[in-house]
Structure 1
Amino acid sequence: MIDATPRPTLEHAASREAEPRWRLLYALNPLAKIAAPVPAMLALLAVRDLPTPAAFLVLAYAVILLGARLSARTLVILLLAVPAFLLLIGIGFSLWTDASRISHDVVILQLGSWTLYGEALEIGFATALRLGAILALALIGGLTTTGPDLTRSMIQQLRVPYRVGYTALAAFRFVPRFGHELEVIRAAHRVRGATYGRGPIAAVRRRIGYVVPLLAGAIRHAERVALSMDARAFGAYPHRTERYRIPFRARDFVFIALFWIASAAIFLAFRPWA
C-alpha cells in the first residue's frame, strides 16, 4: 500500500525534540489537551459569580505558564493585553446592564441622572471573567498543538476518516499561504511602481489588482496539491499507514483526571449554583 501521509518537516521534528522535558503540554496527546478543559468550559457558560471564573482563569494561566514555551509576544498578550481587554469588557457590560433589574443598594458612580450600581459592576466583571476563563482554557491546547498533530490524533484515536481529516488540513493551510502570496503581490506592485492614487475608488482598484493574481496563484496551488495527493494514492484505500503515531498514553489519562479533579474542586469550593 502506498503511504500517502504528508511527511513532517525537519523543522517540525526538531522543534518537538527541542522542547524541554518539563514542558508537559508538548508531551501530551492533542485530544487530552481538549478533553481536559472542555467540561469546565461548558460549565462556565452557566455560572454567574465572580470567584469561579477567576479561579479557572488562574488555573489555566498556571498550566500554560508552566507547561508551554511562550514567546515574548505571547507573554505580553497573556499578561498585559488579555487583562486590559477583560477590564474594558467588564466596564462595558457594567454600563449596558439594565438598571431596572438589579439592586440599587450600592452606588458606585453617579453622573446627573445616570447611576452605576454595584450589582451592575459585579455582573459586568463576572461576564468578562467568564469569557476570559473560557478563552484561557481553550489556549491550553491551542498554544501547544499543531494542526497536523491534531489531525493525526483525530484520525488515530477518534477514527475520523483520513479523507476528511487531511482534506480539511490542506484547506486550512491555504490561509497562511494566501497571506504570504498577498505580501508578495504587494511587494511586486511597489517594485513596479504601480500607483492607484487616493480615495475610495483608488482603494477599490488596488484591491482588484490584488485579487486577480491571488486567485491565479490559489488555482495553481490547488492543482499542485491535487496532483500530489493523486500521486500518493490519497483516498484509494479505506485505511492508510502513518509515518509516526501519536499515542494516547497513561500521562494523558492522568492529566485529564487531575484537571477534572481540580475543576470539580473549584466548583465545590465556590458553589456557583447554590
Structure 2
Amino acid sequence: MTLALEPVANPAAPLARRNPVAKLGAALLFSLPLVATLDPLTPAIALAVELAVLPFFGVRYGLLARRAWPLALGAAGILVTMTLFAADRSGSLLVTLGPFDITTGVVKDALGLVLRVFAVALPGIIVFATTDPTDLADALVQNARAPARFAIGALAAFRMVPLLTSEWQMLTLARRARGIDAGRNPVAKLRLFSSTAFALLVGALRRGGRLATAMDARGFDSGIARTHARRQHFRRADTALLVGAALLSAAALTTSIVAGFFNPIVG
C-alpha cells in the first residue's frame, strides 16, 4: 500500500482553497466536543456534518472510502472488543454469545466509541487530502508563527514517508533473493516481519540523521530571519471557516445536552 501525501481533492473547491492553518484550526475546533463526552449522539451529529461538507472540500466519497479503510478496520476491531469484553454490562439484555452478555449499555458504549473514532479522524483526513504539505509548512511559519525548524522538519518527514513503502519492498526482495523466506510457517513469518521492520527502522533513523545534518549545513537553523517564496494569506473567508467550525461544534454539543445524551468524560 502506498501513501499519497499530495492533495488529491479538487483544488478549485470552495473550502479546499482556504488557508492550511485555517483548515487545520477548524478541524481542531470541530473535534473538541468529541473528546469531552462519551455519548454516541455528539459524534453521530459531527460525522453527519463532516460527510455533508465533504463535497465543498472537493473530496469524493469513493476517495474517502479508499483512504479510510484502515480506520474502518480498526473501528471494527474496537467494536468487537468493546462488545465482548466491556466491564459495564448495564441495560437490557439483547443477546447472549456463550459467556458474553450483550446488553443495550454495551452496544451504546461501543457505538459511541466507534463513531467518535470516525468523527475525530475524518477532519484530519480532509485537511491532509486537500492541502499540499509545502503550503502547510509555509502557512504554519507565516500565519501560525511556528518555528521554521519545526515546520520544515515536519515537511521533510512527510516527504520521506512514501519512501518507507519502497524501502520495505526492497528489503523484502533482497531477503528473498538471499533465500530468506518464511514459507507457510506463521511463526517464521512473524519473525521475518519483525526483523524487516527493525531493519526499516534503522534505515529510517540513519536517513533522518543525514537529512538533519544536511538541513543544518544549509542554514535551516541559522537563526537569521527567513524569506518565503510562496506567501500564504489569511483572509476573511479563512476566519469565517474557523467561526463556522466553532459554531457547528457548539451546536452538536448543545444538541446532545438538550437531548439528554451528554455524558462528560470528567465528572
Question: Could you state the TM-score of these two structures normalised by the residue count of structure 2?
Answer: 0.73
Residue of structure 1 aligned with 2:58, choices 68, 77, 85: 68
How far 1:252 sits from its partner (Å)? 0.5
* Percent of pairs with identical residues: 23
Amino acid at match of 1:194: R
For residues 167-206 of structure 1, the aligned pairs below 5 Å read 167-184=153-170, 186-187=172-173, 193-196=177-180, 198=182, 200=188
Q: Is the 8 Å Cα contact of residues 175 and 181 (structure 2) preserved in structure 1?
A: no
Amino acid at match of 1:28: R
1:6 is aligned to none
For residues 92-171 of structure 1, the aligned pairs below 5 Å read 92-99=81-88, 102-103=90-91, 106-111=92-97, 114-171=100-157
Bigger CA radius of gyration: 1
Q: Is the 8 Å Cα contact of residues 27 and 127 (structure 2) preserved in structure 1?
A: no
Gaps of 5+ in 2: 1-5
Per the alignment, do residues 236 and 205 of structure 1 end up closer, same or farther by CA in structure 2, a change over 3 Å counting?
A: closer
Taking the aligned partners of 1:258 and 1:206, their CA distance within structure 2 comes to: 46
* RMSD, matched Cα: 3.8
Question: Could you state the TM-score of these two structures normalised by the residue count of structure 1?
Answer: 0.72
Taking the aligned partners of 1:41 and 1:263, their CA distance within structure 2 comes to: 7
Per the alignment, do residues 139 and 97 of structure 1 end up closer, same or farther by CA in structure 2, a change over 3 Å counting?
A: same
Q: Is the 8 Å Cα contact of residues 196 and 205 (structure 1) preserved in structure 2?
A: no
Instruction: List structure 1 segments (4+ residues) > 6 angstroms apart after TM superposition.
Output: none
Taking the aligned partners of 1:92 and 1:225, their CA distance within structure 2 comes to: 41
Gaps of 5+ in 1: 1-11
1:245 is aligned to 231
Taking the aligned partners of 1:40 and 1:220, their CA distance within structure 2 comes to: 36
Q: Is the 8 Å Cα contact of residues 33 and 250 (structure 2) preserved in structure 1?
A: no
Aligned length: 249
Amino acid at match of 1:196: I
Q: Does 2:27 align with 1:33?
A: no
How far 1:74 sits from its partner (Å)? 3.6
Q: Secondary structure at the match of 1:269?
A: helix
